[in-house]
Chains A and B, each alone.
Chain A
Amino acid sequence: MEATLRNLFKIMPFLFGIGFIAPMIAQTMAYWHIAAPLGLSRIAFGLLIGAPWGLYATLRGRWI
């Protein structure tokens, strides 16, 4: 249980990037009526930013 939790915390920034940052970007764009570029859906665009950003935070240990 403890090991599972520890591993979960290790990848938490990545999960947060996918599960929170991506929908937040999509919903913010919808709120301001901004269309996603390159014919992408807003959530796809959000994932395109949220997933690598979360991965970066997981690997680097810092969001910025």
Chain B
Amino acid sequence: MDLTEQLRLDPAAAVETLAPDGPAIPLGVGQGLDRHVLLDLQRQERAIAKKYVVIGQTVRWKYVAATLAGFTVWLSLFPLTMLHLVPLWAAFVVSYLIATAGYVTAHEAMHSTIGRKGSRAWFWNELTGQLSMIPLMFPFSIARVTHLQHHRFPNDPVRDPDYPDGAPNLRAALWKGWLNRQPGKTAHAHHIKRVLLEEVDTPEAKAALKQTAIVQLLGTLFFIGMALAGYAMEVAMVWWLPRWFALIHTHVFFSWETHHPQTGTGRYDNTRIFKSSVGSVLSMWIEYHLVHHLYPNIPMHLTKPAYFEMKPILEARGVDCSAH
């Protein structure tokens, strides 16, 4: 009921709803907000975002350092398991965590938060992206082009490359994570290929598709070569199985859960603020995903403090902030 109607029906109660220090006409949330209020909220939101982007610039080296350390450890797992210096189960756990976390560091590089093109830090941005994606056996080029397309059209069934991750619940999402990685018709790769060729249709997208085919072919040949050389268990526990688990992890907890139920396509409803099924650490602080979609230049680990600063503004806009 709006104020005019309220005043007509019960003037005394209507007047009481007006806070003494509030506006003469109470403002609604979300869609009910006046254009000037919306602009003011946007200005406040941008000021907070800018602050965290600047902070991000001072700590971006951490993503580079984490990538170099992670990749070195991951690579060393091959000789360490071959020489029986590290048990296979431990190698599996470490490799799975590195491959999963690698998506987060690569994700920063996808948004060029480590270094912009043309800057001196660009080299480190690209190196971080390339090395981070190797344990996932997924070229950085295609990861970047699909992810940026996802940001343009989140939850769009035709134009969002991540749309096939959608599922009604966690169990179905895990099953979908498996089905989407199968070699046949259910493969997510078919949707990605179509989106890149028909929707994105740039030389970079076409080159990324070719690189993906080459990388996956070389990766498979490496698995076969290692197995024929007598190191099948080692390569399975250091790369093959951890990669599978990490791919399902990233698609379910970084993609499905962040956009579930994939109904909104607007700026404030295409993703959400939620509690992850695997907790904050294993979800790599992606629970504040709305902040990331609003301001992709804020590094992932800073979306949490940025969210808490933005929370009153987001609530005023009608965003559901009840999870945190």
Contacts and interface: CB of A to CB of B under 8 A. Distances in A.
A54 B103 CA distance: 29
Contacts of B186: 61-62
Given A24-B232, A24-B236, A9 B227 contact: no
A63 B240 CA distance: 15
B220 interface: yes
**Interface size band for A:** 20 to 34
Interface residues of B, number: 20
A5 B184 CA distance: 16
Contact of A20 (B178, B213, B223): B223
A34 interface: no
B20 interface: no
Given A16-B224, A24-B233, A27-B233, A8 B217 contact: yes
A13 B183 contact: yes
A23 B228 contact: yes
Interface in A14-42: 15-16, 19-20, 23-24, 26-28, 31
B112 to A, nearest CB: 31
Contacts of B187: 61
A26 to B, nearest CB: 8
Nearest to A10: B183
A58 B184 CA distance: 8
A12 interface: yes
B179 interface: yes
A19 B227 contact: yes
A57 interface: yes
A58 B183 contact: yes
Contacts of A9: 213, 217
27 contacts: A5-B213, A5-B217, A12-B220, A13-B183, A15-B220, A15-B224, A16-B220, A16-B223, A16-B224, A19-B223, A19-B224, A19-B228, A20-B220, A20-B223, A20-B224, A20-B227, A23-B228, A23-B230, A23-B232, A24-B233, A27-B227, A27-B232, A60-B184, A61-B184, A61-B185, A62-B179, A62-B184
Interface of A: 5, 8-9, 12-13, 15-16, 19-20, 23-24, 26-28, 31, 57-58, 60-64
Given A24-B233, A62-B183, 9 more contacts: A16-B224, A20-B224, A24-B227, A24-B236, A27-B232, A28-B232, A61-B184, A61-B186, A62-B186
